[in-house]
Amino acid sequence: MLAAMTDILAITGLSKTYASGLCALDGVSLKVRRGEILALLGPNGAGKTTLISIVCGIVNASAGTVLVDGHDIVRDYRAARSLIGLVPQELTTDAFETVWDTVSFSRGLFGKPANPAHIETVLRSLSLWEKKDSKIMTLSGGMKRRLLIAKALSHEPRILFLDEPTAGVDVELRRDMWQLVRALRDTGVTIILTTHYIDEAEEMADRIGIISKGRLILVEDKAELMHKLGKKQLRLQLQQPLAQLPTALAGYQLALAEGGNELVYTYDSQDDRLGILGLLKDLGDAGVRIKDLSTTQSSLEDIFVDLVRERA
């Protein structure tokens, strides 16, 4: 089956209720395609880290199954886990170790034989080669983040999980991180990242999954998501301000803006443009003269806010 070939991760009916009784995940099913960047987008507390922790074998699921390239994470734990690299949300590193030692040691934890050439490639690709003999405590914040990625890549995983890779990171470092993640994907690694930053999902992802209150509300190609759920606005700058909307135009989704100097027409981006042609004609008939016009498309942020509000 083609689908089985291309999906590197298959999650089915995954639920988690913590000992406290809190249901952090509720029946999540998700397939991840080989070589894609999937962003799991959701507010704090949505269950993103719980989901990742289960796939990585850190947290036990209450129900459901996870297959990593066909390997069940419970029955076939070692095989599944060796295919996964995890860059955790919390930074934990041993301050007194050197960069080289800590990355080499990580590889050993997976039972892989030493491979200095691979470690060198990883450190070079993350611009850490010059720091290989430095102690971790001497690294900058950005270097420490890259070191966590180097550790996660030490055993040559096929899937890399990045849990909130840019939380609390400054703008410049975020851009560097995004570039780095793309470069990793270009080497064939499948990337799953979690974020509560909408712009990060919009910038990075091939597909976006939206998580809210332990449920995966939707998973969609980014472009498709924007197309399906996006609204477009046509803004018409008027030659003469209008005190109110002409009654002849009551049938359109229109609003006055900028003190009556602008008319804003909102329409679904899936609609054809006939509505606009009709509107322009009716405006002309009503004697409304247009100085200029522009269109805007709703951002992922608008879509996300709408979705989460609908389900609240």
Q: According to CB under 6 A, which residues from 50 to 109 bind ligand ADP? A: 50
Q: Which is nearer to ligand ADP, 144 or 196 (CB)?
A: 196
In whole angstroms, what is the distance from residue 22 CA to residue 6 CA?
34
Q: Determine if 47 is a binding residue for ligand ADP (CB under 6 A).
A: yes
Q: Considering the complex, what minimum distance in angstroms separates the CB of residue 44 from ligand ADP?
A: 4
How near is the Cβ of 51 to ligand ADP at its closest, in Å? 7
- Assess contact for 156 and 2: CB atoms under 8 A: no
Find the part of the chain contacting ligand ADP (CB under 6 A) among 45-53, 197-205, 231-239, 244-252: 45-53
Interaction between residue 20 and ligand ADP (CB under 6 A): yes
Given a contact cutoff of 8 angstroms between Cβ atoms, the answer to whether 242 and 251 are in contact is: no
User: In this chain, which stretch among 42-50, 131-139, 143-151, 219-227 interacts with Mg ion, using CB under 5 A?
Assistant: 42-50
- Exactly one of 27, 35, 45, 142 binds ligand ADP (CB under 6 A); which one? 45
C-beta of 54 vs 122, nearer to Mg ion: 54
Q: Taking CB within 5 to 8 Å according to partner kind, which of ligand ADP, Mg ion, none is near residue 22?
A: ligand ADP
Which positions from 197 to 226 touch Mg ion by CB under 5 A, shown as an x/- string?
A: ------------------------------
φ/ψ of 50, rounded to 5, equals: -60, -45
CA distance 31 to 14: 12
Binding of ligand ADP by 42 (CB under 6 A): yes
- Indicate the DSSP class of residue 128: -
Amino acid at residue number 297: Q
Cα dihedral value 160, 138, 171, 191, nearest 10: 0
Among 1, 2, 5, 44, binds ligand ADP (CB under 6 A): 44
Only one of the segments 42-50, 70-78, 136-144, 267-275 lies at the binding site for ligand ADP (rule: CB under 6 A); that segment is 42-50
Binder of residue 45, out of ligand ADP, Mg ion, none (CB less than 5 to 8 A by kind): ligand ADP
- 47: nearest Cα among 217, 225, 221, 229: 217
CA 285, CA 84: separation in Å to the nearest integer? Answer: 64
CA distance 118 to 83: 16
C-alpha 93/C-alpha 298 separation (Å) is: 41
Stretch that binds ligand ADP, among 16-24, 93-101, 130-138, 173-181 (CB under 6 A): 16-24
Q: Report the nearest approach of Mg ion to the CB of residue 11 (Å).
A: 17
What distance in Å separates the CA atoms of residue 163 and residue 148, rounded to the nearest whole number?
11
Cβ-based neighbour number of residue 114 at 10 Å: 10
Kindly state the DSSP code that residue 113 receives in the 8-state scheme: P
Q: Which of 15, 49, 53, 195 binds Mg ion (CB under 5 A)?
A: 49
Q: How far is the CB of 200 from ligand ADP (least distance, A)?
A: 14
Residue with tokens 């050197």: 98
Q: How far is the CB of 37 from ligand ADP (least distance, A)?
A: 18
How far apart (Å, rounded) are the C-alpha atoms in residues 67 and 64?
Answer: 10
Residue of minimal CB distance from Mg ion? Answer: 49
Residue 181 to residue 183: CA distance in whole angstroms: 5
Q: Which of 197, 99, 108 is nearest to 145 (CA)?
A: 99
Q: Which of 9, 11, 32, 46 binds ligand ADP (CB under 6 A)?
A: 46
Residues at the contact surface with ligand ADP, assessed by CB under 6 A: 18, 20, 22, 24, 42, 44-50
Chain residues in the site for Mg ion (CB under 5 A): 48-49
